[in-house]
Amino acid sequence: MTYATEDNITDLAVDRWGTAHDPRQAEVLTSLVRHLHDFAREVRLTEGEWMAGIQWLTRVGQISDDKREEFILASDVLGLSMLVVQMNNHFGPGATPATVLGPFHIDGSPPAPYGWDMSDGIEGTPFFITGTVRSVTGEPIAGAVLDVWQADADGTYEAQLDVDEARLRAKYHTREDGTYCIRSIVPLGYAIPMDGPVGDLIATTDISYFRPSHIHFLLEEDGYERLVTHLFAEGTPNLDDDVVFGVKEELITPFLPHEPGPAPDGSSLEMPFVTAHYDFVLQPTAR
């Protein structure tokens, strides 16, 4: 019988996890074991540091619930989320690039007609986003779903307010010509949640914990690749040091101020408002 030593324990663990019944699972787990052991050896991990890491992971799990995904937040700030997104979304030239989903997406947002105001009376500067959804081959896509969510004018999501109902989120559909119109309020750039273990870890560094002003989109349509992305306000702070590494140049968009008057949804506003225009371009699925 072979007993574990510092020299052979990695090989023993790899052999054991290589018995996973699914070949891909065996590949992933054996590679994970090798990299974990290599990390521990490289930094000469102490028992105290190992326990601190275990306790930190325990706290990440304890604070997570159906509205707060602290593990996703940890993955985001470590750059892992964006790396996985980029490895798995190699779209063709001209297609809108993907970014991270983030920890605040919720399934089941309410359906919304063209131009519907998803702010539903929440205070803030009126904000209209218009554009089209089309294929990389140029044709407009009718009926495409735009699942939209964002922070409010204080940079807050409902999960941070302990609010049960959907807030500043909706599912819009494009019209026959591929056009869409979203009404909301201008979102504020915000700090990621700093009241948990991820925040505690960041507080030990000089890392900026802010995100630039943005609005989230998830686009889905049969025959096209699912697209998770953002639109970022041109000139907003933290574009260069987004804490989750989510900014791409193609997604930076002018948020244009307007005086009171006609708005993109056909209404006439008696207050200043802001508009943005963006055409989403989807990648057809491989046949």
Distance CA 10, CA 5 (A): 9
Q: Tell me whether residue 138 is in a domain.
A: yes
Q: Tell me whether residue 33 is in a domain.
A: yes
Q: Are residues 111 and 34 in the same domain?
A: no
Q: Is the pLDDT of residue 147 over 90?
A: yes
- pTM for this structure? 0.91
Q: Are residues 264 and 134 in the same domain?
A: yes
Q: Are residues 243 and 103 in the same domain?
A: yes
Q: Tell me whether residue 41 is in a domain.
A: yes
Q: Are strands 280-282 and 126-135 parallel, antiparallel or unpaired?
A: parallel
Quick check: 98 and 84 in contact, CB under 8 A?
no
The structural domain count of the chain equals 2
Q: What are phi and psi of 118, to 5 degrees?
A: -80, -5
Q: Are residues 141 and 26 in the same domain?
A: no
Tell me which residue range forms the domain holding 188: 80-282
| pLDDT score for 157 | 87
Q: Tell me whether residue 56 is in a domain.
A: no
Q: Are residues 142 and 264 in the same domain?
A: yes
**Mean per-residue pLDDT for 193-208?**
97
Residue type (1 letter), 146: L
| pLDDT score for 287 | 67
For the segment 227-239, what is each residue's pLDDT rounded down to a tens digit?
999 999 999 999 9
Q: Are residues 11 and 117 in the same domain?
A: no
Share of residues in the chain with pLDDT > 70 (%):
99
For the segment 31-46, what is each residue's pLDDT rounded down to a tens digit?
999 999 999 999 999 9
For residue 144, the Cα-to-chain-centroid distance in whole angstroms is 20
Confidence of residue 66 (pLDDT cuts 50, 70, 90): confident
Q: Are residues 91 and 219 in the same domain?
A: yes
| pLDDT score for 57 | 98
Q: Tell me whether residue 147 is in a domain.
A: yes
Q: Are residues 9 and 139 in the same domain?
A: no
DSSP 77-91: HTTHHHHHHHHH--P
| pLDDT score for 22 | 98
Q: Are residues 143 and 33 in the same domain?
A: no
Distance CA 177, CA 159 (A): 35
Which CATH number does the domain housing residue 240 bear?
A: 2.60.130.10
Q: Are residues 90 and 151 in the same domain?
A: yes
Q: Are residues 37 and 98 in the same domain?
A: no
Quick check: 144 and 133 in contact, CB under 8 A?
yes
Q: Tell me whether residue 178 is in a domain.
A: yes
Residue type (1 letter), 25: Q
**Mean per-residue pLDDT for 52-77?**
94
Q: Is the pLDDT of residue 188 over 80?
A: yes
Q: Tell me whether residue 238 is in a domain.
A: yes
Q: Are residues 39 and 91 in the same domain?
A: no
Q: Tell me whether residue 54 is in a domain.
A: no
**Mean per-residue pLDDT for 280-287?**
91
